Protein backbone atom coordinates (compact mmCIF):
# COMPACT_ATOMS: atom_id res chain seq x y z
CA UNK A 1 0.00 0.00 0.00
CA UNK A 2 2.88 2.36 0.82
CA UNK A 3 4.39 1.78 -2.61
CA UNK A 4 1.11 2.68 -4.31
CA UNK A 5 0.90 5.89 -2.30
CA UNK A 6 4.52 6.66 -3.13
CA UNK A 7 3.86 6.13 -6.83
CA UNK A 8 0.77 8.36 -6.72
CA UNK A 9 2.74 11.07 -4.92
CA UNK A 10 5.60 10.77 -7.42
CA UNK A 11 3.24 11.06 -10.37
CA UNK A 12 1.52 14.00 -8.70
CA UNK A 13 4.85 15.71 -8.08
CA UNK A 14 5.95 15.23 -11.69
CA UNK A 15 2.57 16.47 -12.87
CA UNK A 16 2.97 19.53 -10.68
CA UNK A 17 6.46 20.10 -12.10
CA UNK A 18 5.17 19.86 -15.66
CA UNK A 19 2.34 22.27 -14.85
CA UNK A 20 4.67 24.72 -13.14
CA UNK A 21 7.42 24.61 -15.74
CA UNK A 22 4.97 24.48 -18.66
CA UNK A 23 4.17 28.17 -18.21
CA UNK A 24 7.44 29.03 -19.93
CA UNK A 25 7.06 29.04 -23.71
CA UNK A 26 10.15 27.88 -25.59
CA UNK A 27 10.96 30.49 -28.27
CA UNK A 28 11.18 29.27 -31.83
CA UNK A 29 13.83 30.56 -34.20
CA UNK A 30 11.41 31.71 -36.91
CA UNK A 31 13.98 33.11 -39.30
CA UNK A 32 16.80 31.88 -41.46
CA UNK A 33 20.30 33.20 -40.85
CA UNK A 34 21.46 34.61 -44.18
CA UNK A 35 24.43 33.27 -46.11
CA UNK A 36 27.12 35.80 -45.25
CA UNK A 37 29.08 35.10 -48.42
CA UNK A 38 26.21 36.30 -50.62
CA UNK A 39 24.10 38.46 -48.30
CA UNK A 40 23.39 42.13 -48.91
CA UNK A 41 23.66 44.76 -46.19
CA UNK A 42 19.84 44.71 -45.93
CA UNK A 43 19.90 40.92 -45.41
CA UNK A 44 22.48 41.29 -42.65
CA UNK A 45 20.59 44.08 -40.87
CA UNK A 46 17.38 42.02 -41.00
CA UNK A 47 19.28 38.97 -39.76
CA UNK A 48 20.80 40.95 -36.90
CA UNK A 49 17.39 42.32 -35.90
CA UNK A 50 15.87 38.83 -35.99
CA UNK A 51 18.75 37.34 -34.02
CA UNK A 52 18.60 40.03 -31.33
CA UNK A 53 14.86 39.42 -30.96
CA UNK A 54 15.41 35.65 -30.71
CA UNK A 55 18.18 36.17 -28.16
CA UNK A 56 15.90 38.38 -26.03
CA UNK A 57 13.10 35.80 -26.27
CA UNK A 58 15.48 33.06 -25.21
CA UNK A 59 16.73 35.13 -22.26
CA UNK A 60 13.11 35.68 -21.19
CA UNK A 61 12.53 31.92 -21.42
CA UNK A 62 15.58 31.20 -19.26
CA UNK A 63 14.45 33.79 -16.71
CA UNK A 64 11.00 32.17 -16.71
CA UNK A 65 12.50 28.75 -15.99
CA UNK A 66 14.49 30.19 -13.09
CA UNK A 67 11.43 32.00 -11.75
CA UNK A 68 9.18 28.96 -11.99
CA UNK A 69 11.72 26.72 -10.27
CA UNK A 70 12.08 29.23 -7.44
CA UNK A 71 8.33 28.84 -6.77
CA UNK A 72 8.69 25.11 -6.10
CA UNK A 73 9.29 24.22 -2.46
CA UNK A 74 12.65 22.58 -1.84
CA UNK A 75 10.89 20.51 0.82
CA UNK A 76 8.86 18.70 -1.84
CA UNK A 77 9.77 15.01 -1.95
CA UNK A 78 10.53 15.14 -5.67
CA UNK A 79 12.24 18.54 -5.72
CA UNK A 80 15.42 17.04 -7.19
CA UNK A 81 13.42 15.51 -10.05
CA UNK A 82 11.70 18.82 -10.73
CA UNK A 83 15.02 20.67 -10.58
CA UNK A 84 16.56 18.11 -12.92
CA UNK A 85 13.75 18.65 -15.44
CA UNK A 86 14.17 22.42 -15.21
CA UNK A 87 17.95 22.14 -15.56
CA UNK A 88 17.55 19.93 -18.64
CA UNK A 89 15.27 22.48 -20.29
CA UNK A 90 17.63 25.31 -19.33
CA UNK A 91 20.72 23.54 -20.65
CA UNK A 92 18.99 22.56 -23.91
CA UNK A 93 18.00 26.19 -24.45
CA UNK A 94 21.56 27.37 -23.79
CA UNK A 95 22.89 24.79 -26.26
CA UNK A 96 20.41 25.93 -28.93
CA UNK A 97 21.20 29.60 -28.34
CA UNK A 98 24.94 28.92 -28.49
CA UNK A 99 24.53 27.05 -31.76
CA UNK A 100 22.51 29.92 -33.25
CA UNK A 101 25.09 32.46 -32.02
CA UNK A 102 27.90 30.45 -33.61
CA UNK A 103 26.00 30.33 -36.91
CA UNK A 104 25.39 34.08 -36.75
CA UNK A 105 29.06 34.77 -36.01
CA UNK A 106 30.11 32.62 -38.97
CA UNK A 107 27.69 34.57 -41.16
CA UNK A 108 29.14 37.90 -39.99
CA UNK A 109 32.70 36.71 -40.67
CA UNK A 110 31.70 35.50 -44.16
CA UNK A 111 29.95 38.80 -44.89
CA UNK A 112 32.99 40.81 -43.81
CA UNK A 113 35.19 38.65 -46.05
CA UNK A 114 33.14 39.59 -49.17
The string of DSSP letters for 54-77 reads HHHHHHHHHHHHHHHHHTS-TTST
List the domain boundaries for the chain: 2-112
Q: Is the pLDDT of residue 22 over 80?
A: no
Higher pLDDT, 105 or 6: 105
pLDDT score at 23: 85
pLDDT tens column, 46-57: 999 999 999 999
100 in Cβ contact with 36 (< 8 Å): no
Q: What is the DSSP letter of 39?
A: -
Q: Spell 7-43 as b/e; 16+ CB within 10 A means b.
A: eeeeeebeeebeebbeebeebebeeebbebeebeeeb
Q: Is the pLDDT of residue 1 over 80?
A: no
Q: What is the pTM of this model?
A: 0.77
Amino acid sequence: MKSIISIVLLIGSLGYAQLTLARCDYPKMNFVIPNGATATMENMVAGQTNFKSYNADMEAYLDCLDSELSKVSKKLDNYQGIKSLSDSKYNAAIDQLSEAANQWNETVRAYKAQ
